[in-house]
Amino acid sequence: MPFPIHRPRRLRRTESLRRLTRETQLQPENFIEPLFLIPGEGQVKPISSMPGIAQLSVDQAVKQCEEAKSLGLGGVILFGIPETKDEFASGAYDPDGIVQQGVRAIKAAVPDLLVITDVCNCEYTSHGHCGHIVDNDVDNDVTLDWLARSAVSHAAAGADIVAPSDMMDGRVAAIRSALDQAGHPLVPIMSYAAKYASGFYGPFREAAESTPQFGDRRSYQMDPPNAREAMREIELDLEEGADMIIVKPALAYLDIIAAARNRFDVPIAAYQVSGEYSMIMAAVQNGWVDYERVMFESLTAIKRAGATMIINYFAKPAARLL
Ligand code: PBG
């Protein structure tokens, strides 16, 4: 054997060579920032399990959105924590609910910023489940009606995209037909098509005050060991009219993102969820890992796996550094 002709290290020798040959680039326009809206004015309530993230009253969220726009973020996704919760999630589809107010205020102040709304009932039900409870389980078809009403109320308030995250069967079709009938045929649906029943949502449930008061979400969210089932869920949502799909969580499900990328020709979003963020931040705060390196490495992995967009809590700090 002669001395090796192939020396992959040649292309890694300097930063300019590495930059030239880099396969994956992160861009602020592919980041979507989650915002948690609460009632009131001038409110910024830090979420203890998510360092750097806070619940915001609408006026404060508007300020964050102005900054999101100036940083060039792709958009924001809104979650709402209503004044009161009830068995019927009425705050979710109240035309004057917290998310609906938020959308109106943000679109009035920052019209060019893309506003996505999370369509789900768990933040609005007294029991914390994602729909109407019958015999200790969520009744699918009654819940569809609530979801459709929520989506229409978000679109009427000016939402650019609606994103159903409940994992009920048939919700994309129900939402599509309700939007069309209400005169919103051009509002796209970004469906959380492959959403797993994950332990990584823990901190979000503090942030959104949506922990189920009994049981868990395993009868509607997906079982983590299943990959083929994710392809079927995505296929069904696309057949029902989804324009884009979401895989969630992200880092523990990179195989699902990659498989979906190979199989479906629609934009794919991945959601780097609260627990993923909090684990990194906890290690950063202990001095165990480097903040910037691990933030960018985790986001890059998600993009490299095939995600077009990343919904994530690092959106602003990452955009500032890019
Ligand atoms: C449900 C919803 C959840 C998240 C987004 N939408 C939580 C859940 O299903 O319990 C999780 C997001 C995160 O953990 O960052 N409406």
SS3 content of the chain, % helix, strand, coil (to 5): 45, 20, 40
pLDDT of amino acid 207: 84
Question: Distance between CA 24 and CA 230 in Å, rounded?
Answer: 25
**H-run or E-run covering 137:** strand 137-139
Residue 86 pLDDT more than 80?
yes
d(CA 27, CA 296): 11
Instruction: Give the pair of three-digit tokens for residue 209.
Output: 């005050």
Our answer on whether the CB atom of 120 is closer than 6 Å to any ligand 1 atom is yes
Query: How far, in Å, from the CA of 290 to the mean position of ligand 1?
Result: 27
pLDDT in tens, 1-51: 677 889 999 999 999 999 999 999 999 999 999 999 999 999 999 999 999
Please tell me the residue having the least CA distance from ligand 1 atom 12: 273
Mean pLDDT (whole number) for 183-203:
97
| CA gap 234, 64 in Å, rounded | 32
Q: Atom 5 (ligand 1): residue with closest C-alpha?
A: 165
Q: How confident is the model at residue 209, as a pLDDT?
A: 85
Residue 183 near residue 125, CB atoms below 8 Å = no
Ligand 1 contact, 240 CB (< 6 A): no
- Please report the pLDDT score of residue 306 as a whole number: 98
Distance CA 176, CA 195 (A): 19
> 86 is written with which tokens?
């009830």
* Terminal CA-CA length for the chain: 44
In the chain, where the domains are located: 26-247
Among 122, 276, 280, the mutation site with the greatest number of ligand 1 atoms within 8 A of its Cβ is 122
Of 183, 182, 140, residue with least CA distance to 164: 140
Residue nearest to atom 2 of ligand 1 (CA): 165
CA distance 284 to 7: 35
Is the per-residue pLDDT at 301 higher than 90?
A: yes
Which mutation among 273, 278, 312 tests ligand 1's pocket best, with the greatest number of atoms within 8 A of CB?
273
Tell whether ligand 1 has an atom less than 6 A from the beta carbon of residue 201: yes
Statement: the pTM of the whole predicted model exceeds 0.75: yes
Q: Which backbone phi and psi does 30 adopt, to 5 degrees?
A: -100, 5
Structure letter (DSSP) for residue 76: E
Q: Is 273 in the pocket of ligand 1 (CB under 6 A)?
A: yes
Tokens representing 282 are 């906890």
Phi, psi values for residue 164, rounded to 5° = -70, 130
Distance in angstroms (rounded) separating the CA atoms of residues 227 and 9: 36
* Phi, psi dihedral angles at 157 (to 5 degrees): -75, -15
Tell which one of 50, 120, 312 to mutate to probe ligand 1, the residue whose CB is within 8 A of the most ligand atoms. 120
Q: Which atom of ligand 1 is nearest to the CA of 200?
A: 14
Q: What is the mean pLDDT of residues 190-218?
A: 92
Catalytic residues: 195, 248
Query: In 24-106, at which residue ranges do the beta strands (DSSP E only) sit?
Result: 31-38, 44-46, 54-57, 75-80
Judge whether 207 and 36 are in contact, CB under 8 Å. Answer: yes
Cα separation values, 204 from 46, 272, 273, 308, Å? 12, 11, 8, 23
Is pLDDT at 214 greater than 90 in this prediction? no
State the CATH class of domain 26-247.
Answer: alpha beta
Any atom of ligand 1 within 6 Å of the Cβ of 204: yes
List pLDDT tens digits, range 51-72: 999 999 999 999 999 999 999 9
Q: What pairs with residue 44 in β-bridges?
A: 56
